[in-house]
Amino acid sequence: MPLKIYNSLTKQKEEFKPLVPGEVKMYVCGPTVYDEPHIGHLRSAYVFEVIRNYLKYSGYKVKFVRNVTDVDDKIIEKARENKGCNLVEEVKKVSDKYYQRYKEDLSELGIAAPDVEPKATEHISEMKELIVNLIKKDAAYSSEGDIYFKVGRLPNQDYGQLSHQNMDAIFHSVRIDPSEKKQSLLDFALWKKAKEGEPSWPSPWGEGRPGWHIECSAMSMKYLGETFDIHGGGRDLIFPHHENEIAQSEGVTGKKPFASYWIHHGLITINNQKMSKSLGNYITLKSILEKSPYWGIEELKVLFVGTHYSAPLDYSDSHFGLAKSVRDKFCQFYQDMARYSYPMLPSNDSKIKAYVLEFEKAMSDDFNTPGAIAVMHEMIDYARRQQIESIKEATSLQVGIEILKLSSIFSLKFGAKIEIGDDGKVKNVSIQQMPVKKTQSIGSGALIITQEEAEIRGLIKTREEAKKKKDYKTADSIRNQLNQKGIMLKDFPDGTTEWRAI
């Protein structure tokens, strides 16, 4: 089935057709390393890890480039706060420190490194070359040591094409900086004249450093060419960063399309508020892991895939608790498999093959991860509905194998590893025991759970007791009550009940 991607440039889903059949070139804007990475940075990296993984699953050869901005106003300001003797050295210390923290967090999440991870400071010559070419084409000009790009004054320039704004609207929204010496308020800096003590490099226009936007054009074009398949980043980068990338890149190449598909992910809020240090809701991976010994890496990834990449994602204890319950269901499925006898031949069930196709259909529809996860839930439900034990074991084994294959796209693990021999028989099934923690609020030996989850489990227990007494009116009332909370119940023939967020 064809892969369709929502293209921010055209504002519609389009069938994905790479420039070279079977190959994908993808560039994503990486971090500006001036502070601790937060879950917004992690979501961005994870979104494009899932996209890369699914492209590879679909048979594409992927070249993935994600840059690092290691010289920038914010990094310099952070270095000044350290009050070191040498600002240039302090800037490098700051960028090295937070780049390392970023890599450590991504490693914790199981996110593989990109194929190329260029640093801005290592590509100054490429940036200067682009700027020279823009000046030659009369697309840029010098002003007292600064170099600016001419916005809206080039033949056939379609500035605003990505953000879908007209020039008048952009003009009235631009921030005025009295220190800039521009011909027009819309012009943006390609090169900044050196200030005393700041990092700088020699150039035809004097000592200075690059502007932010030119960095990504230079690095993406070096490693992927003048036109490549996918450019990604957060919605907050659409304007002005990505808009300016298009303008300067196509200004150099003569209107040659910069990127074919633009993918932008939604941003993160905390309890329905914008994440901000001033509000005290700046969430890092470290703070999540310190908050609870049970909530962790896998639950965060389930939280991420539970919302479509393009939508905003609200982080809260309640939502994290629901993500934990989703992961618990998959882990419990593999725990239950531990009692089966092995080795045995997996089932060759056409129904399970149909589920895999439904999973692929969801992912091929603009990487619909919530829909794909829902299919994986259905696969487990299907296995548990089997009433003949031998069929149930074989079906569960095939479902378990397929889910592990599919969940690897999300870099998820459910505490299980299944090894299949060349003869198709199971060689080994290893199950990691689910952690058990003590908590005074729930009771000795119970898993740590949120208050909301404790209430849900309490209602389910009350419902089970009502069903035993054949008080179906109460049981139905509780089911309806849970449905109104966004909780779906699933009853199985063996008398067990599972629940998950709708």
8 A C-beta contact, residue 220 and residue 212: no
Q: Which pair of structure tokens corresponds to residue 256? A: 């040659």
- The span from the CA of 355 to the CA of 173, in Å, is 49
Query: Which tokens sit at 112?
Result: 């593989």
Sequence-separated contacts (24+) of 494-497 with Cβ below 8 Å? 494/384, 496/384, 497/460, 497/463, 497/464
Domain regions of the chain by residue span: 4-265, 270-431, 451-501
Which residues are registered as beta bridge partners of 116?
A: 65
What's the pLDDT score for residue 147?
97
Rounded CA-CA distance 329/334 in Å is 9
pLDDT in tens, 197-235: 999 999 999 999 999 999 999 999 999 999 999 999 999
Do 13 and 5 form a contact (C-beta atoms < 8 A)?
yes
The closest of 159, 366, 376, 119 to 266, measured between CA atoms, is 366
Q: What is the mean pLDDT of each run of 10 residues along the chain (502 residues)?
A: 96 98 98 95 97 98 98 95 89 97 96 98 98 96 95 82 88 70 91 95 96 97 98 96 97 93 96 76 87 76 97 90 88 83 75 97 98 97 90 89 94 83 73 45 37 74 86 86 75 68 53
Q: What tokens appear for 103 in the block? A: 């890599």
Q: What is the pLDDT of residue 93?
A: 96
Q: Report how far residue 118's alpha carbon sits from residue 104's, in angstroms, rounded to the nearest whole number.
A: 17
Q: 270-431: what fold? A: Isoleucyl-tRNA Synthetase; Domain 1 (1.10.730)
Give the pLDDT of residue 290.
82
pLDDT tens column, 395-445: 998 999 999 999 999 999 888 887 777 776 777 777 765 443 333 333 323
Residues near 458 by beta carbon (within 8 Å), at least 6 away in sequence:
none
Predicted confidence at residue 343, as pLDDT, reads 60
Per-residue CA distances from 347 to 42, 352, 397, 398 (Å): 38, 9, 7, 6
Beta bridge pairs of residue 230? 26, 261
DSSP string for 96-139: HHHHHHHHHHHHHTTPPPPSB--BGGG-HHHHHHHHHHHHHTTS
CA distance 124 to 204: 13
The pTM of the full predicted model, rounded to 2 decimals, is 0.85
Smallest CA-to-CA distance from 311 within 352, 269, 343 is with 269
Residue 501: its pLDDT value, please? 57
Cβ-in-10-Å burial (0-12, 13-18, 19+) of 103 comes to middle
pLDDT of 346: 74
Cβ burial, residue 454 (10 Å; 0-12/13-18/19+): middle
Residue whose entry in the numeric block shows the structure tokens 């908590």: 439
Structure-token pair, residue 139: 């697309």
pLDDT for the residue 84? 76
The CATH-assigned architecture of domain 4-265 is 3-Layer(aba) Sandwich (3.40)
In 3D space, the residue among 353, 424, 432, 335 whose CA is nearest the CA of residue 395 turns out to be 353
